[in-house]
Structure 1
Amino acid sequence: MDSQNINYQAGQAKAQTEEKASNLTDKASSAAQSTKESIQEAGAQMQAKARDTMDSVKEATGMNK
């Protein structure tokens, strides 16, 4: 192997490594965004349930009048 061929192969390996790292970063970012959205959705559901519970308590105790 001559040095030009070795340099070419090293460049190829570096490019592949960078591409894999970029793909992993994209996947991690996507997973983080998905988790954030899931947490926000769960929070909204909990708020809605809390409101429903409060409304039920007010109805049951006559506080809604």
Structure 2
Amino acid sequence: MSSAQFNAGQNHGQAKATTEQWMESAKNTAEAAHDKACNAAGKTHAETQRSKEENASFLQQTGEQVAHMAQGAIDGVKNTLGMGDKK
């Protein structure tokens, strides 16, 4: 075998090994990025759910306050007209 053929075979082997290393590195990088994206999505989902619950609670409290204010206004009008419990 000639020196040129030997060098070509050696270069081919080195190129193949380098390509496999790059592919493994790219695979690891992609898996790490995927894991980070999944973690971020999970945190975002949890924060969104908590925010929804807080908003629902706030709206319920606000609705109750409005209902109490309306009832107070109705009672005030009834009392003014002499139709309420207080005479």
TM over 0.5: yes
Q: 1:45 aligns with which of 65, 72, 77?
A: 65
Computing the radius of gyration from Cα coordinates, the structure with the larger value is 2
Asked if 1:36 corresponds to 2:70, the answer is no
Work out the percentage of aligned pairs sharing the same amino acid: 18
Alpha-carbon separation, structure 1, partners of 2:26 and 2:48:
33
Output the TM-score relative to the length of structure 1. 0.85
What is the CA-CA distance between 1:5 and the residue it aligns to?
A: 3.0
What is the CA-CA distance between 1:4 and the residue it aligns to?
A: 2.8
- Stretches of 4+ aligned residues off by more than 6 angstroms: none
Alpha-carbon separation, structure 1, partners of 2:73 and 2:33:
60
**How well do the aligned residues superpose, as a CA RMSD in angstroms?**
1.5
* Structure 2: gaps of 5 or more residues: 1-17
